Chain A
């Protein structure tokens, strides 16, 4: 507000005697001409920020946003808002490693919000997957996606949303890649995977199962027929143990081979006792699959439990199901019996040595300290690598992986006209389902930038969420945030910024789970999807970190009446900087850091816009 003109001010009140004096000095008009905001040294900023969960999500899922919509009981809005960043809620709601939950600020109050179960709830509410409501016209570019795992699915989904004509190739008989052949059905039922492909095909994605690029179709053919290619061929080749007899017996097989055989409905005979070598998720999937086939299963891992790459809940569930573990042991020698079976597996005891490059202590053999095991079958799961097959010559490889740059563009030899990108487990990238989805999305956006002649690096940097860098498709597509207020997606709201005094404890909703004995009797899923009531209860536990909920604390606490409701019932608040003295109380009392503060620019620096958030 502008100060009133001097002439408009009250006339001076002459006091010539104490008799003229009023008992109390009260101004004759308003004091609005006194712009007390000039006294301010710190400036409160009312802007929504990135919650710790979204920052931790490789796919940049706006978890807080869809939970807020869920709380409002707007199920369809929640579904589409969720899918805006992570298109497969029914799948990821079951098998996502849920980095969001590990980052959830609620953990410092009681326990994290059950984000993954909420996601599953939303995903399962929409069966079949409805057709996407806002498909754009074709951009006249053809995109070939090779591999129909989560990276390929995401690239196909977002590619379609960007107007590409997408063809999705899968070498196996059924679509889904790792989701179909690498993850056991008790964790991810087949119909859930199939549902997503129905959704994709309803969006116009052409599905080509049973088609191997490099065999049924040459890479050259692809380059000729398509403007863009996205390679998401996964890592389907198991590394060997490197022991003398590890390929000499059919009783030594890879964990992946077992999972694939089980998925195809032709499980092999494993015998009574099974030893699984390895500590990753494949090892545990293989172990739990073997358990469901009636075997006694022991996992042998060369490091300690804390260093296992497998997700903690997988380890917990495996243990509940009777899987035994031997830590700090590594296979040394396989003795074969006369009939081609395994007579003995000799393992060495290990001890943690010096930390290696990734910070974990390198296990060292303890000479002479051995364990003899007598399994019927050995399942190996010590790592996987892509099966580049016929592609290696065209795209090159580095350490067995497809070489890419930061925009996921393939940097190997490029012999054709098509723009070639790659993602998922086949490139040098963290190997989780959600990282794969993130890669597919990022590649789709990078390809669209390329198509339009824009710079992918700058565009991708501008639409990243928080510091974690999950790329936000919604920001790229210009989709509005749930809260129509100023956004500062770079700023991350972690636990130290939350005012926990404002939140009361409430235990997490339990997930109904079958008993371990019932679980191992079949390959059926063993956890239930929440019902509406449970989901609503859990959604109410979200702290909405960094996002305004109109709790009115700032409005109530502002001593200068400088925080005001937005006019005409619009969402949120307005800070009147003409009068805000910068006391910082709104910032201190905002439970969720939707209000932050920055230093005011001093006179010497005037002319420059205030810098970004400086934190607490």
Chain B
């Protein structure tokens, strides 16, 4: 049923539809209303789950780790500093191969204190072993939540789904909320591989000597690499069930494009308008939206971008001393290609600064008139 709802509400509904058993979270702007809604659902009996109140994000993650270890489908949500406060336990959740789903509302990290959209929080967690899915719209946030549980439980890795602060979290859009029966068909009950059982006590995640640790980490890596195909499969099954198409990336007009703009999150919607304008003028510009960022879908990225001469990467995040993280990852992924495109990294819209269609057009025009890229980022909109 179609509803006009905010991004946070869409995610709460998806969590409810996923029939989670445990929710634990600590409030932080702009995530708060997700878990507010979920706590109401738990209290009202609408959602048959335990809502565990905690004193910090670190404990929230620890609580869902406990729940997932006990074999229960678990969810948490956070943002910015809250996510960073989880950092140590994020590693644990992934290493313990627990299919937890976390919604992270992308928000800038302080100081200066800033509650607006910026993807620096989630990209900084790229080495924790979590899968990461980025969303462009409220509908995609809801759909990604459902897919996140399915993927996580098929590969036994946790999934972080992200969407931009306020642009989505607090903005109402039309969202098609699927029926419970439909979701139940798509997402069967969680079948854990191992879980705590008082009748058969075992220890989880104990000491691992150098003789074994290496192999176990390799297994985790290999499962993560293989998870790219699992995501693809889940996307296809999702399309079949719900009629909405998703993939590992979304490639728009990339086949014949000489210049491709790469985006993640809501910047994509802005870029769509600009790409459309260029196409109307007959100029071959394309758009690649990053959906899955971890594991890195190297093959997909290469195949989508193989025909382009120039790739512009818009990063709404900054790794100080490097530049935008998406551009860096893309550079690394494409480097072994013989006919790799030139990559033009652009950092824009940090801390929630608006990036308009005119900005994106300006960026494209700038790149169109440059012959070479030295790989270093342009800071678009910087007050000189």
Q: Which residues of A contact B (CB under 8 A)?
A: 15, 17-18, 20-32
- Contact of B202 with A23 in the complex, beta carbons under 8 Å: no
Q: Judge if B97 is at the interface, Cβ distance under 8 Å.
A: yes
How many whole Å from A585's CB to the nearest CB in chain B?
15
Give Cα A22 to B212, complex, Å: 10
Beta-carbon contacts under 8 Å, B311-364 to A: none
Give Cα A561 to B216, complex, Å: 29
- Contact of A18 with B215 in the complex, beta carbons under 8 Å: yes
Closest 8 CB pairs of A and B: A27-B203, A18-B215, A21-B215, A31-B203, A30-B201, A27-B202, A23-B97, A18-B218
- Contact of A15 with B215 in the complex, beta carbons under 8 Å: yes
A32 proximity list for chain B (CB < 8 A): 201
Q: Judge if B156 is at the interface, Cβ distance under 8 Å.
A: yes
- A-side interface mostly: loop
- Contact of A26 with B219 in the complex, beta carbons under 8 Å: no
Known contacts: A30-B201, A31-B203, A31-B206. The answer to whether A23 contacts B212 by CB under 8 A is no
Give Cα A17 to B211, complex, Å: 11
How many whole Å from B151's CB to the nearest CB in chain A?
16
A22 proximity list for chain B (CB < 8 A): 216, 219
The one of B193, B202, B208, B223 in contact with A28, judged by C-beta atoms closer than 8 angstroms, is B202
B97 proximity list for chain A (CB < 8 A): 23-24
Q: Judge if B251 is at the interface, Cβ distance under 8 Å.
A: no
Q: Judge if B243 is at the interface, Cβ distance under 8 Å.
A: no
Give Cα A27 to B211, complex, Å: 16
Beta-carbon contacts under 8 Å, B205-235 to A: 205-206, 208, 211-212, 215-216, 218-220, 222-223
A30 proximity list for chain B (CB < 8 A): 201-203
- What number of B residues sit within 8 Å (CB to CB) of A? 21
Give Cα A20 to B222, complex, Å: 14
Beta-carbon contacts under 8 Å, B22-55 to A: none
Q: Which residue of A lies closest to B196 (CB)?
A: A26
Give Cα A27 to B193, complex, Å: 14
The one of A17, A21, A24, A29 in contact with B96, judged by C-beta atoms closer than 8 angstroms, is A24
Q: Add 16 more A-B contacts to A23-B219, A26-B202 (CB < 8 A).
A: A18-B218, A20-B215, A21-B218, A21-B219, A23-B97, A23-B193, A23-B223, A24-B96, A25-B206, A25-B208, A26-B204, A27-B206, A28-B202, A31-B201, A31-B202, A31-B206
Give Cα A62 to B154, complex, Å: 63
Q: Which residue of A lies closest to B216 (CB)?
A: A21
Q: Judge if B278 is at the interface, Cβ distance under 8 Å.
A: no
How many whole Å from B132's CB to the nearest CB in chain A?
20
How many whole Å from A376's CB to the nearest CB in chain B?
72
Q: Which residue of A lies closest to B213 (CB)?
A: A25
- Contact of B202 with A25 in the complex, beta carbons under 8 Å: no
- Contact of A24 with B223 in the complex, beta carbons under 8 Å: no
Give Cα A31 to B220, complex, Å: 25
- Contact of B194 with A26 in the complex, beta carbons under 8 Å: yes
B218 proximity list for chain A (CB < 8 A): 18, 21
Give Cα A56 to B46, complex, Å: 55
Q: Which residue of B lies closest to A27 (CB)?
A: B203
Beta-carbon contacts under 8 Å, B175-218 to A: 193-194, 201-206, 208, 211-212, 215-216, 218
Give Cα A596 to B36, complex, Å: 40
The one of A17, A20, A25, A28 in contact with B205, judged by C-beta atoms closer than 8 angstroms, is A25
Q: Which residue of B lies closest to A17 (CB)?
A: B215
- Contact of B208 with A29 in the complex, beta carbons under 8 Å: no
B203 proximity list for chain A (CB < 8 A): 26-27, 30-31
B194 proximity list for chain A (CB < 8 A): 24, 26
Give Cα A29 to B201, complex, Å: 7
The one of A17, A23, A26 in contact with B220, judged by C-beta atoms closer than 8 angstroms, is A23
- Contact of B202 with A24 in the complex, beta carbons under 8 Å: no
- Contact of B202 with A29 in the complex, beta carbons under 8 Å: yes
Q: Which residue of B lies closest to A21 (CB)?
A: B215
18 A-B interface contacts by CB (under 8 A): A15-B211, A18-B215, A20-B215, A21-B219, A23-B156, A23-B216, A23-B219, A24-B193, A24-B194, A25-B204, A25-B205, A25-B206, A25-B216, A26-B202, A27-B204, A28-B202, A29-B202, A30-B202
Give Cα A575 to B202, complex, Å: 21
How many whole Å from B69's CB to the nearest CB in chain A?
9
How many whole Å from A223's CB to the nearest CB in chain B?
73
Known contacts: A24-B194, A25-B208. The answer to whether A18 contacts B202 by CB under 8 A is no
